[in-house]
Amino acid sequence: MRRTAVPRVRPGRRKAFQRRLLAWYGRFRRDLPWRRTRDPYRILVSEIMLQQTQVERVIPKYREWLIRYPSLEALANAGRAEVREAWYPLGYNIRPVRLRDIARAVVRRHRGRVPASREDLLALPGIGPYTAGAVLSFAYGQDAPILDTNVRRVLRRVFLGDRTAPRDRLLWKLAEALLPRGNAYDFNQAMMDFGATVCTARRPGCPECALAGLCASYPLTAPRTAARGTAGLKSHDVKAVVHEQDHPRDPAGQRAAQEHRRIRNLRRVRVPAQRRARLHHLEDAAETLHRPRGGRPDRARRDGVDPDAAGA
Ligand code: SF4
């Protein structure tokens, strides 16, 4: 690998990167419990738990932990052995002790409020630049960059090429330069999701990648699977694929996208024209059946609501 300098990113390329990444995130983001809160304590707990641990293992422990220690104060009063025991089986048992020490420092130095400045966060025990950036952007909505393993990999591959070994200092600058002002929350979450699910370390999904046209490393891999037909798939799954492709922006399309992800490799399904035409024909027929004579389609009935009750 060669050392390299971070390139200047032209505004057009930066904008295209932001736009494509955020559009991808809008469709495929993961629904994670710590994305439903802006509470700095909860964000902090999730970030410490996620260090070196897979999301699936963290989710149940995150919920359990917050029941046992619902606030910084509750955690600050806990003993060392107790927090280690509560952390089991996540591993790396120094982490719960660090988290407890952070809680104590916040209570002592900041009256129980997690600080909103990088300087104050970095002065807390066990908080480094990544965790500080995560708290600032996820809890306080500040335009703060982050750089974890996933983000590092995406930035390197897209802007520098896979065979480079840039210094972290340069990648931090790149991460900061790419941040869309006022939207660091979504952008940072998108970068992490993208690195965890598409631009993965071992099997990046280059053939279907939303950033392929901008990526200096494309293509790193051949298709994960060849596109396949619809034989063997249930008709509601085929319907989900067609609906999502036809209506990528509407809420039903979003629901279809979830369905789409639920089934392995459905993204690679190619719906034969004949089957697609038949589905459209059936939809049209259903709509005609529920259309009042001379009027617009009856929305209440189409949405499965009893029209009498809806009009009452
Ligand atoms: S094209 Fe491949 S290497 Fe480039 S961002 Fe997409 S998945 Fe990653």
Q: Is residue 45 part of a domain?
A: yes
Q: Is residue 2 part of a domain?
A: no
Pair (181, 291) in one structural domain: no
Does residue 269 line the site of ligand 1, with CB under 6 A? Answer: no
Number of the ligand 1 atom closest to the C-alpha atom of 153 = 8
At 160-198, the pLDDT tens digits run 999 889 999 999 999 999 999 999 999 999 999 999 999
User: Domain boundary residue among 197, 224, 247?
Assistant: 197
User: Domain boundary residue among 171, 197, 223?
Assistant: 197
**CA 223 / ligand 1 centre spacing (Å):** 12
Apex CA 54: angle with CA 222 and CA 261, to 5°? 50
Q: Which residues pair with 228 in a beta bridge?
A: 269
Number of the ligand 1 atom closest to the C-alpha atom of 221 = 2
Residue 230 banded pLDDT, cuts 50, 70, 90: low
Mean pLDDT of 215-233: 71
Residue with tokens 């319907």: 239
**CA 138 / ligand 1 centre spacing (Å):** 25
Pair (70, 177) in one structural domain: yes
Pair (80, 24) in one structural domain: yes
Catalytically active residues, by annotation? 47
Pair (112, 249) in one structural domain: no
**CA 197 / ligand 1 centre spacing (Å):** 11
Provide the pLDDT for residue 1. Answer: 58
Does residue 204 line the site of ligand 1, with CB under 6 A? Answer: yes
Pull the structure tokens for residue 208.
């279907």
Of the listed ranges 38-42, 89-93, 193-197, 235-239, the one predicted with least confidence:
235-239
Does residue 196 line the site of ligand 1, with CB under 6 A? Answer: no
Pair (121, 65) in one structural domain: yes
- DSSP labels for 240-268? HHHHHHH-TTSHHHHHHHHHHHHSTTGGG
Pair (124, 24) in one structural domain: yes
Buried b (16+ CB within 10 A) or exposed e, 252-282: ebbebbebbeeeeebbebebeeeebeebeee
Please state the separation of Cα 78 from the chain's center in Å: 32
Residue 226 banded pLDDT, cuts 50, 70, 90: very low
At 243-299, the pLDDT tens digits run 666 665 666 666 666 665 555 455 566 666 666 666 665 655 555 555 444 434 333
Of 153, 198, 206, 214, which is best to mutate to test ligand 1, by the most ligand atoms within 8 angstroms of its C-beta?
Answer: 206
For residue 305, pLDDT beyond 60: no
Q: Is residue 216 part of a domain?
A: no
Spatial distance between the Cα atoms of 63 and 59, rounded to a whole number of angstroms: 7
For residue 310, pLDDT beyond 50: no
Q: Which residues pair with 181 in a beta bridge?
A: none
Spatial distance between the Cα atoms of 211 and 156, rounded to a whole number of angstroms: 13
**CA 213 / ligand 1 centre spacing (Å):** 9
Does residue 43 line the site of ligand 1, with CB under 6 A? Answer: no
Domain, as residue range, for 247? 235-311
Pull the structure tokens for residue 200.
């993965």
At 49-87, the pLDDT tens digits run 999 899 999 999 999 999 999 999 999 999 999 999 999
Spatial distance between the Cα atoms of 233 and 289, rounded to a whole number of angstroms: 28
Mean pLDDT of 11-17: 96
Does residue 209 line the site of ligand 1, with CB under 6 A? Answer: yes
- For the chain, what is the mean pLDDT? 83
Pair (243, 191) in one structural domain: no
Pair (37, 124) in one structural domain: yes
Spatial distance between the Cα atoms of 90 and 269, rounded to a whole number of angstroms: 37
Pair (190, 253) in one structural domain: no
The secondary structure of residue 265, as a DSSP letter, is T
Neighbour count for residue 86 (Cβ, 10 Å)? 17
Spatial CA neighbour of 224 closest among 202, 241, 256: 202
Q: Is residue 244 part of a domain?
A: yes
Does residue 158 line the site of ligand 1, with CB under 6 A? Answer: yes
Q: How many domains, in total, are found in the chain?
A: 2
Does residue 124 line the site of ligand 1, with CB under 6 A? Answer: no
For residue 24, pLDDT beyond 80: yes
Residue with tokens 């630049």: 129
Does residue 220 line the site of ligand 1, with CB under 6 A? Answer: yes
Query: Is the separation of the CB atoms in 86 and 68 below 8 Å?
Result: yes
Provide the pLDDT for residue 304. Answer: 32
Q: Is residue 205 part of a domain?
A: no
Residue 8 banded pLDDT, cuts 50, 70, 90: confident
Of 20, 155, 220, 221, which is best to mutate to test ligand 1, by the most ligand atoms within 8 angstroms of its C-beta?
Answer: 220
For residue 97, pLDDT beyond 70: yes
Pair (177, 241) in one structural domain: no
Pair (129, 34) in one structural domain: yes
**CATH code, 164:** 1.10.340.30
**CA 275 / ligand 1 centre spacing (Å):** 32
At 99-156, the pLDDT tens digits run 999 999 999 999 999 999 999 999 999 999 999 999 999 999 999 999 999 999 999 9
Spatial distance between the Cα atoms of 194 and 21, rounded to a whole number of angstroms: 8
Provide the pLDDT for residue 223. Answer: 59
For ligand 1, atom 2, the nearest C-alpha belongs to 206
Provide the pLDDT for residue 312. Answer: 29
